[in-house]
Amino acid sequence: MAKILEVNDLCKTYITNKRQNNVLRNVSFSIEKGEMVAIMGPSGSGKSTMLYTVSGMDSLTAGRVLFDGRDISAMKPNELAALRLDEMGFIFQQMYMLKNLSILDNIILPARQSKSGNLSAKEKLERGKALMRKLGIIEIADNDINEVSGGQLQRACICRSMINSPKIIFADEPTGALNRQSSNEVMNELCKINAEGTTILLVTHDIKVAAKCSRVFFIVDGNIKGEYNLVGTDERANERALNNWLLEMGW
């Protein structure tokens, strides 16, 4: 299977009060198209920094990141912005949406901003509605963002991440602000999207979430300490096996 993401010797360093903070240290890994991979690790280990750096949301200090064969670390800012808009989707723990727009208008905003493709404004609107129907939230299309539940809002964020038919979705703690029922609903939708062919790389601290993935990276002090491959369809068995492995890793 072809690789969609190749990361080689990635380093990320911040300078704070004239001191170097090496958040990522020579990180290397690859993800194949259609995979769903989780990044886990203790607080401050570099999980979110790794997600933001490999997606081009943050610059790298050293190393190389290839997205679908293209070196994003060598791209100009406008090229990288267009790539993120048209070929990547993003979901965050904090569900950022514009307060002056309805849920549907928030969802289709990236499609309106995109300069690629040849969809009309009406077709973009219909795609947004189709995604909302697919995720079971069409009834909140005209609502303001403060008129819906957290689970509904996060599913709307998934719709927004899918509006431009991305090749990969990057998700940073997508269920972190949700209760268990809403978390399960959101993860079920992400699993469906993944089953349809969209690659997903997510950061999570939740074993139940990670157990739905095909692989798990465990990161400590800016390094990938271990990698676990999940097999089979028994979710409880996967959770137990993953939990045991994480304990061995020092979770």
Report which residue type is found at 50.
M
Widest CA span in the chain = 53
Residue in the structure block whose two tokens are 């947004």: 128
Alpha carbons 72 and 63: distance in angstroms, whole number: 11
Query: Which contiguous run of DSSP H or E holds residue 43?
Result: none
Q: How much of the chain is helix, strand and coil, in % rounded to 5?
A: 40, 25, 30
Secondary structure (3-state) at 207: helix
231: containing domain: 3-249
- Detail the DSSP E strand segments found in 173-229: 199-203, 215-220, 223-229
First vs last C-alpha separation in the chain: 31
Q: Kindly report, residue by residue over 1-44, the tens digit of the pLDDT.
A: 699 999 999 999 988 887 888 899 999 999 999 999 999 999 88
Secondary structure (3-state) at 111: helix
pLDDT band for 73, please (50, 70, 90 cuts): confident
For residue 176, give both structure tokens.
Answer: 């972190």
Q: CATH no. for residue 35? A: 3.40.50.300
Give residue 58's pLDDT: 93
Give residue 251's pLDDT: 86
Contacts of 121 (CB under 8 A, 6+ apart): 112
Give residue 124's pLDDT: 95
Strands 36-40 and 199-203: parallel
For residue 108, give both structure tokens.
Answer: 């289709």
Phi, psi of 39 (to 5 degrees): -110, 125
Alpha carbons 135 and 212: distance in angstroms, whole number: 18
Give residue 166's pLDDT: 96
Give residue 232's pLDDT: 77
Nearest in space to 232 (alpha carbons), one of 223, 241, 224? 241
Question: CA 126: distance to chain centroid?
Answer: 24
For residue 169, give both structure tokens.
Answer: 């979705």
Report which residue type is found at 202.
L
Give residue 116's pLDDT: 79
Q: Kindly report, residue by residue over 166-222, the tens digit of the pLDDT.
A: 999 999 999 988 889 988 998 999 999 999 999 999 999 999 999 999 999 999 999
Alpha carbons 152 and 99: distance in angstroms, whole number: 15
- Detail the DSSP E strand segments found in 61-207: 62-67, 70-71, 88-92, 168-172, 199-203
* 49, pLDDT greater than 90: yes
Report which residue type is found at 111.
A
Alpha carbons 72 and 130: distance in angstroms, whole number: 31
Give residue 225's pLDDT: 96
Total number of domains in the chain = 1
CB contact at 8 A, 21 and 49: no
Give residue 93's pLDDT: 82
Q: Kindly report, residue by residue over 91-144, the tens digit of the pLDDT.
A: 988 888 999 999 999 999 999 999 877 789 999 999 999 999 999 999 999 999
